[in-house]
């Protein structure tokens, strides 16, 4: 049987069997991450350093680290997918750390001092929780 016939037979078999039922759809992981519901955390439940960083964000600084306010690219797409430049990252100081540590606040929106939403990560972008106002 020629290669072309094998290809046609394969396509026919897949079509007749209902497709690749067990296989994930192309891009599905990204779509799932983009629509995933993030856990929420009240601002008052965050470490004091995170609360101070959030106040600095709303005041427009001054920020203690040079990279604060830089664009966060959301490569892992754990946050809702937006255009590049939507998200900015800010360091949350970690007591005793010699470097910037792993804690960050990432905020999104057109106005950095009036973000639409902010997210806290204690594990250097491996997970996020949406910061909400205290109730």
pLDDT at 37: 73
Task: Inform me whether the pLDDT recorded for 12 exceeds 70.
Answer: no
pLDDT digits (tens, 9 = 90+) for 30-51: 444 444 579 999 999 999 999 9
pLDDT given for residue 107 in this prediction: 98
* Residue 29 shares a structural domain with residue 15: yes
Assess whether pLDDT exceeds 60 at residue 3: no
- Quick one: 90 exposed, middle or buried, by C-beta within 10 A (0-12, 13-18, 19+)? buried
61 and 125 share a domain?
Answer: yes
Note the pLDDT of residue 56: 98
Number of independent structural domains in the chain: 2
What six digits make up the tokens of 29? 């992981």
The residue that leads in pLDDT, 25 or 55, is 55
Domain residue limits at 12: 1-35
Options 29, 76, 116, 124, the catalytic residue: 124
Residues 84 and 121 both lie in one domain: yes
Q: 86 an active-site residue? A: no
- CA atoms of 79 and 87, how far apart (whole Å): 9
pLDDT confidence tier of residue 2, bands split at 50, 70 and 90: low
Instruction: Say yes or no: 12 and 54 in one domain.
Output: no
Task: Examine the residue annotation and report whether 76 is marked as an active-site residue of this protein.
Answer: no
Q: Are residues 27 and 63 in the same domain?
A: no
Query: Structure pTM?
Result: 0.73
């Amino acid at each position: 049987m020629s290669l072309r016939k094998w290809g046609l037979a394969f396509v026919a078999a897949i079509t007749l069997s209902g497709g690749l039922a067990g296989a994930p759809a192309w891009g599905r992981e990204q779509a799932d991450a983009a629509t995933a519901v993030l856990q929420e955390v009240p601002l008052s439940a965050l470490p004091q350093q995170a609360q101070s960083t959030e106040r600095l964000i709303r005041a427009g600084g001054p920020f203690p680290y040079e990279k604060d306010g830089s664009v966060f690219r959301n490569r892992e797409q754990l946050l809702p997918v937006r255009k590049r430049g939507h998200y900015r990252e800010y360091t949350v100081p970690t007591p005793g750390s010699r470097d910037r540590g792993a804690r960050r606040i990432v905020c999104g929106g057109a106005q950095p001092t009036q973000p639409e939403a902010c997210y806290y990560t204690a594990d250097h972008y491996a997970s996020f929780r949406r910061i909400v106002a205290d109730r």
